Amino acid sequence: MAATFTSISPHPSSSSLYHKFHPSTLAYSLNSSIESSTSCLATKNVNLSNGRRNSSTYRPLRVQNAATKQAKSPAEEDWKIKRQVLLEKKVRSVDVKEALRLQAENNFVILDVRPEAEFKEGHPAGAINVQIYRLIKEWTAWDIARRAAFAFFGIFQGTEENPEFIQSVESKLAKDAKIIVACSAGGTTRPTQNLPEGQQSRSLIAAYLLVLNGYKNVFHLDGGIYKWFKEDLPSESQE
């Protein structure tokens, strides 16, 4: 009497039979990115007759697992575009000690883009200040709503983009000036495992605006003003 058994076992990748099959890939899209990972299993049919194995056949069984990525926010998409421009324009980051040397030996200017009040409390010696964000000035219905939104998160001095940023920079620095842009933390265009697009910051956004408006020698302070103070480099304040 013959008996037939069916078993499921992992398909050996080294098997010559495996390369005869070309499983198709399924793709799914629903307002998000889909990544698929697959594994192959083989179905092994074994016929036993009088205690002997007569034949074995392998058929690949494709098992697909899908992991859905969360869609990027408009702010993330906007930063991705800005970062690409910074990379194309070769905006390079310099550490604080190199920035100090460039300032002393090569006539580089440190452009501090923090709010004016923070700049007055303390900044790298010789730096100039043009804030990229300023306190909300107007009192239209829209501005009141924005103030309320900031207050909801415990921020009682809401800010907005400074529409006069480029104009103010142009009044202080020529287009061929050698500029190191600085803010509190610095940010980075370098990708990491957790931040594949780097980390945006006020100084990187300022650098983006500068290169878009014709400035050719734009650098970025890695680690920001925080790192400058931590390294105890020359600083000054305005009372």
Catalytic residues: 183
What is the identity of the amino acid at 82? Answer: K
Contact 132, 206 (CB under 8 A): yes
Burial class (CB in 10 A: 0-12, 13-18, 19+), 158: middle
For the chain, what is the total number of helices (H) and then of strands (E)?
Answer: 7, 12
CA distance 69 to 71: 6
168-202 CB burial, b ≥16 within 10 A, e <16: ebeeebeeebbbbbbbbebbbbeeeeeeebbbbbb
Given a contact cutoff of 8 angstroms between Cβ atoms, the answer to whether 70 and 33 are in contact is: no
Among 57, 53, 48, 60, which residue's Cα sits nearest to residue 10?
60
